[in-house]
A and B are shown apart, each in its own frame.
Chain A
Amino acid sequence: MQFSDRINGGFLVVLGVLAAYGGSLLPPVPGQPVGPNIFPIVIGVGLTICGLLIAFGIGHNFEAEEKIEPTADGSAVATRSMWWIIVPPLLLLFYVFAVEWLGFVLTSAIIAFITSMSLRGTLKIAIAMAIASPLVVHLVFAKLLRVPLPAGLLPLPW
C-alpha cells in the first residue's frame, strides 16, 4: 500500500482542488462576509500546496528511515502478501450486513474465527476464540452495559 510521493502529492492536489471547489459552491450566510464556505476553501488551498510540495519531494529528507524490526532470534521473516490487510475491514462490513439477520453471537463467532485463522492461528486457537470471544463481548456490552445486540438466529439463553 505504499505509493510514490508523486502519487501521494497528486492525490492531495486533487483532493484540495475538489474541497476548495466544493466549498465555494456552498451558499453564504445572508448579510455576513463569511459562511460555511471559507473553511473548506482555506483547507483546500492548503492541501493543494502540501500536495505540490510532496509531489516535488520537498521535506522528504525529514522522514525517518524505514526500520526493519528485528525478531527475537535475529532472523528476518518475510512479510506477507498485502492482500491480507483487507480482511479486517471486510469483516467489519460483514458485521454490518449480517448482524441483524444472523445475530450477534453467530456473526462475531465467524469474525473471530476468520481473524484468528488469517493471523496464522492454529485451528484449536481459532475455535476457542470463536466460542469465547462472542461470549466475553456479549457479557461486557450486552449484560453489563446494556447495549442492544441483536439476537438473530442464535439468542443466548440469558
Chain B
Amino acid sequence: MDAILEGLKLVAATDVLIALLVSAVYGLIIGAIPGLTATMATALLVPITFYLSPLAAITTIVTASAMAIFSGDIPGCLLRIPGTPASAAYTDEAYALTKKGQAELALGASLWFSALGGIFGTIALMIIAPVLADFALSFSTFEYFWLSFLGLMCATLVARSSPVKAVASALIGLLIACIGMENPGGTPRFTFGVTDLLGGVDVIPALVGVFAVSEVMRAMAGPPAAKIGHKSLGSILAGQLELTKKYWRQMTRGNVVGTLVGVLPGAGADMAAWVCYAISKRFSKTPEKFGTGYPEGLVESGAANNAALAGAWVPALIFGIPGDTITAIAIGVLYMKGLNPGPTLFTEKASSMYAIYVIFMLANILMIPLGIIMIRITTKVLNAPQSAVMPLILLCCAVGAFAVGNNLFAVVIVAAFGIIGYVMEANGFPVAAMVLGIIMGSMVEQSLVTSLIKSDGGIMPFFDRPISAVLAVMAITALLWPLFFWLIKRVRQATARATA
C-alpha cells in the first residue's frame, strides 16, 4: 500500500504532469500526420528524455505513443491514408464509413475504443507483470537466449513481407550489433579502424535514421501529399455507448487478443490490429458487411492496437525484451534512467512501477478530451504542407542525434541509416526486424555465448530445462512456419491433382 501511495506521489510531481500534457499534444500531432509513425515520435523523444527525471522520461514515451496510435486513425478515416501502420488494418473500413457520411461515428469509435483498449491493456499489465516476474526469477541464460530469439522471430512474423527477407533483416540488425568492442573478447570487431565505431553503433541515431530520415526521403521521391477540404463534424462521442453495448463481445475479444499479441516479444500494435480485424471478420455473423463501412471490425481492431501497446511493456519490463519497436526504444531509456528491466524491478522499485501504471491510466483517460480537440482541429494539421513539416523533422533528426552524446559522428550514423532504411523498405525488407536485431544483438550474443561456455560448447543443454525446451519449440516453429505452410500447400495441391 505504501508503494502505491509513493507511486501516486511520484506522478503528482509538476515535471511529470507537464511532460504528460506536452507529450500528449506532441503524440497526437505526429500520429495524425501520415508517414510520421508512433515509433518515430518515440525515437525523436529519446534525446529529450536524457534531460528529464526518470518518471517524466517514461511518461513522455507512454503518453506520446498511446496518443500517436489513436490519432493515426484520423487521417485513415478522413483520407484513407493511415497515420501510423497500426491503423492500416482498418483504414478502408473507417474510410467507407466516412464516405457514407458517418465520419464522426468512425472517429468517435476509434477514440472511444482506443482509450478503453488502452485502459484494459494497462490493467492486464498490472496483473500479468508481477506474476510473470516471479516466474522469471528462475530463468537462466538458456531461457533468455530462446526468449530473445523468439522475440526476433516474432518480429519477422509481423512483417507482411517475405519471411526470408524478414529473417535476413533481423540478421542484418544482429550483424550491426556486432560492431564495436562490447563483445565476449573485448576485441574491436568490424570497426575497420574507425575510432568512433569502437563503442558500437548507437541505437538512437540508427532508429532516428531508419524511422525518420527515410520518411523524409520517401516524401522527396513520392507524390505531393493529399489535401483535405474543410469538414464539419457532428458530436464525436454520440452513439459510442450504444456501440459498446452492441459490440461488447468484440471489444473484449479485441482487448484480450490485442494484449496477448502485445505481450508476445517482438509483435506489437500493428500485428494486433491485423490479427483482430481478421478474427472479427471470421467470427462475425455478417462478414459480408466488412469493408463496406461497418463498425464491428473497427471496434475490435481499434481496441486491440491500444491494448497491445500496454501489453508490449510486459516483456520489456520483466526481461528487457521489447514487445514492439516502441518498447524497444523505451528499454534504452529505462537503462539510462537506472530502472534496469528485470524481474527484480517489481520488488526493488515497486513505487516506480505503480507510478508507471498510473501514467498509463492517466494517458488513456486524457486521450478522450484531447482526442476530441484533435479531431476538431485535425483538418488544419492534415493540411500542413510537407514542405513545412519535413524541414523541422530533419533538423530534429540532426540535433537530436547529436544531443545523445554531443558527438557529430552520430549525425553521420543517422544519414547512413536513413539510406539503409530507405533501400531496405523499397526492396521489401522490413526495417522493424532490423531495428530489433540491433537492439537485442548484445543480449542474444551474451546469452548465447554464456550458455555455450556453460555447456562446454554443447547444444543439448539448450533443450534440457523444461521452460527452455518450450521456448525453443516456439522459437523454432516461428522460424520454420513458412516452410510448413508451403509444404501443406504442396500436399494439398498433390492430393487435389490425384483426385482429379
Instruction: List A27-81 residues whose CB lies under 8 Å from chain B.
Output: 27-29, 32-40, 42-44, 46-47, 50-51, 53-54, 58-60, 62-64, 69-72, 77-81
Chain B residue at smallest Cβ distance from A82: B221
Partner of A115, one of B79, B391, B414: B391
Instruction: List B214-232 residues whose CB lies under 8 Å from chain A.
Output: 216-224, 226-228
CA distance A95 to B224 in the complex (A): 26
A39 to chain B, nearest CB (A): 5
**Is B224 touching A54 in the complex (CB atoms < 8 A)?**
no
The answer to whether the Cβ of A153 comes within 8 Å of any Cβ in the partner chain is no
Partner of B399, one of A125, A130, A137, A146: A137
Interface size class of B (residues with CB under 8 A): 35 or more
A148 proximity list for chain B (CB < 8 A): 406
**Is A54 touching B183 in the complex (CB atoms < 8 A)?**
no
Partner of B427, one of A3, A82, A96, A147: A3
CA distance A144 to B52 in the complex (A): 11
Partner of B224, one of A46, A77, A111: A77
A120 to chain B, nearest CB (A): 6
CA distance A119 to B220 in the complex (A): 6
Chain B residue at smallest Cβ distance from A19: B175
**Is A46 touching B167 in the complex (CB atoms < 8 A)?**
yes
The answer to whether the Cβ of A155 comes within 8 Å of any Cβ in the partner chain is no
- A15, A36, A44, A116, most chain B CB atoms within 10 A: A36
**Is A92 touching B397 in the complex (CB atoms < 8 A)?**
yes
* Contact A47:B184 (CB < 8 A) given known A72-B79, A79-B223, A111-B395: no
Chain A residue at smallest Cβ distance from B406: A148
B482 proximity list for chain A (CB < 8 A): 59, 62
**Is A54 touching B226 in the complex (CB atoms < 8 A)?**
no
**Is A59 touching B165 in the complex (CB atoms < 8 A)?**
yes
B487 to chain A, nearest CB (A): 13
The answer to whether the Cβ of B500 comes within 8 Å of any Cβ in the partner chain is no
CA distance A23 to B189 in the complex (A): 8
* Contact A46:B387 (CB < 8 A) given known A88-B394, A115-B216: no
Partner of A129, one of B51, B387, B403, B452: B387
Partner of A80, one of B221, B226, B386, B427: B221
B174 proximity list for chain A (CB < 8 A): 39, 43
Interface size class of A (residues with CB under 8 A): 35 or more
Chain A residue at smallest Cβ distance from B386: A119
CA distance A79 to B398 in the complex (A): 27
**Is B448 touching A38 in the complex (CB atoms < 8 A)?**
yes
Contact mask for chain A residues 101-116; partner B; CB cutoff 8 A; 1 contact, 0 none: 0001000100111011
B183 proximity list for chain A (CB < 8 A): 36, 39
Contact mask for chain B residues 188-203; partner A; CB cutoff 8 A; 1 contact, 0 none: 0110000000000000
**Is B222 touching A79 in the complex (CB atoms < 8 A)?**
yes
**Is A69 touching B171 in the complex (CB atoms < 8 A)?**
no
* Contact A47:B171 (CB < 8 A) given known A96-B412, A112-B392: yes
Contact mask for chain B residues 24-54; partner A; CB cutoff 8 A; 1 contact, 0 none: 0000000000000000000000011011000
B160 proximity list for chain A (CB < 8 A): 64
**Is B428 touching A133 in the complex (CB atoms < 8 A)?**
no
**Is B165 touching A112 in the complex (CB atoms < 8 A)?**
no
* Contact A1:B422 (CB < 8 A) given known A36-B184, A91-B394, A115-B391: yes
**Is A40 touching B178 in the complex (CB atoms < 8 A)?**
yes
The answer to whether the Cβ of B162 comes within 8 Å of any Cβ in the partner chain is yes
CA distance A144 to B269 in the complex (A): 33
Instruction: List B349-407 residues whose CB lies under 8 Å from chain A.
Output: 385-388, 390-392, 394-400, 402-403, 406
7 examples of A-B residue contacts, CB within 8 angstroms: A54-B162, A54-B168, A59-B164, A64-B160, A104-B399, A120-B224, A145-B403
Residues of A that sit less than 8 Å from B by CB? 1-3, 8, 12, 15-16, 19, 22-23, 26-29, 32-40, 42-44, 46-47, 50-51, 53-54, 58-60, 62-64, 69-72, 77-82, 84-85, 87-93, 95-96, 99-100, 104, 108, 111-113, 115-122, 125-126, 128-130, 133-134, 136-137, 140-141, 144-149
Residues of B that sit less than 8 Å from A by CB? 47-48, 50-51, 79-81, 160-165, 167-168, 171-172, 174-175, 178, 183-187, 189-190, 213, 216-224, 226-228, 385-388, 390-392, 394-400, 402-403, 406, 408, 411-412, 414-416, 418-419, 422-423, 426-429, 444-445, 448-449, 452-453, 456-457, 482
